[in-house]
Structure 1
Amino acid sequence: MSGNATSATVLGLGAMGSALAGALLTAGRPVTVWNRSADKTKPLVGRGATAAGSAAEAVAASELVIVCLLDDASVREVLKTVSLAGRTVVNLTNGTPRQARELAEWVTEQGAKFLDGGIMAIPPMIGQPGAFVFYSGPKDVFDTHRAAFDTFGGSNYVGEDPGLAALHDLALLSGMYGQFIGVLQAYALIRSEGLSAVEFAPLLGGWLTAMSNFVQEAAVEADSGDYTRNVVSNLGMQAAAFENLPIAAADQGVSSELLAPLHQLLLRRAADGHGAENLTSVIELLKK
Structure 2
Amino acid sequence: MRTEHTEHTECTEQSAVTVLGLGPMGRALATAFVEAGLRTTVWNRTPGKDTELVERGAVSAPSAEAAVAASELTVVCVVNYDAADAVLRRDEVADALKGRTVVNLTADTPDRARNTARWAAEHGVRYLDGAIMTPTPTIGTPHAVFIHSGPEDLYREHQPVLDALGGTHTHLGDDPGRAAAYDIALLDIFWTSMAGYAHALAVAKAEGISPRELAPFAQGIGAILPPIFEQTAEELERGDFSGDGNPITSAVSSMSHIVHTSEAHGIDAGVMRAAEGLARRAVGRGHGADGFTRIAQLLSDR
Contact preservation (8 Å) 2:255, 2:272:
no
Which aligned runs of 4 or more in structure 1 are off by greater than 4 angstroms? none
Letter paired with 1:34: W
Matches of 2:276 and 2:26, distance apart in 1:
40
Which of 116, 122, 130 in structure 1 is aligned with 2:135? 122
For residue 111 of structure 1, what is the aligned residue in structure 2?
A: 124
Post-superposition shift, 1:145? 1.0
Give SS of 1:135's match. strand
Write the mapping of 1:157-172 to structure 2, written as runs, cut at 5 A. Answer: 157-172=171-186
> Given the alignment of the two structures, is residue 240 of structure 1 paired with residue 253 of structure 2, yes or no?
yes
Aligned equivalent of 1:212, options 209, 222, 226: 226
**Matches of 2:227 and 2:219, distance apart in 1:** 14
The answer to whether the 8 Å contact 2:77/2:106 transfers is yes
Task: Name 1:12's counterpart in structure 2.
Answer: 21
Distance 2:135 2:51 in 1: 22
Deviations 1:209-256 (A, max 9, x none): 12432101110122222212x621111222133211111112233221
The one-letter code sitting in structure 1 at the alignment partner of 2:75 is I
Residue in 2 that maps onto 1:66: 75
More divergent stretch after superposition (163-172 vs 249-258) = 249-258
Equivalent of 2:89, from 70, 77, 80? 80
Identify the residue that residue 30 of structure 1 maps to in structure 2: 39
CA deviation map 1:88-119 (0-9, x unaligned): 01001101111111101111111121100010
Name the counterpart of 2:274. 261
Work out the number of aligned pairs and report it.
285
**Cα displacement string for residues 10-58 of structure 1 (whole angstroms, at most 9, x for unaligned residues):** 1111111111000000100000001111201111111111111110000
Comparing 81-90 and 178-187, the one that deviates more: 178-187
Matches within 5 A, 1:85-100: 85-100=98-113
1:132 aligns to 2:166 (yes or no): no
2:238 pairs with one of 209, 224, 229: 224
Q: What TM-score do the two structures reach when normalised by structure 2?
A: 0.90
How many Å separate the matches in 1 of 2:262 and 2:79?
37
Deviation at 1:3, TM superposition (A): 6.7
Partners in 2 of 1:175 and 1:78 — Cα distance? Answer: 31
Alignment root-mean-square deviation, CA: 1.5
Aligned counterparts of 2:116 and 2:286: Cα–Cα separation in 1: 44
Partners of 1:87 and 1:113 within 8 A in 2: yes
Query: 1:61 and 1:21 mapped to 2: Cα distance?
Result: 15
**Structure 2, unpaired ranges of 5+:** 1-11
Paired letter, 1:89: V
C-alpha change, 1:142 and 1:148, in structure 2 (3 Å) is: same
> TM-score scaled to structure 1, two decimals?
0.95
Which structure is higher in helix share? 2
The 10-residue stretch of structure 1 (79-88 or 53-62) with the greater mean CA deviation from structure 2: 79-88
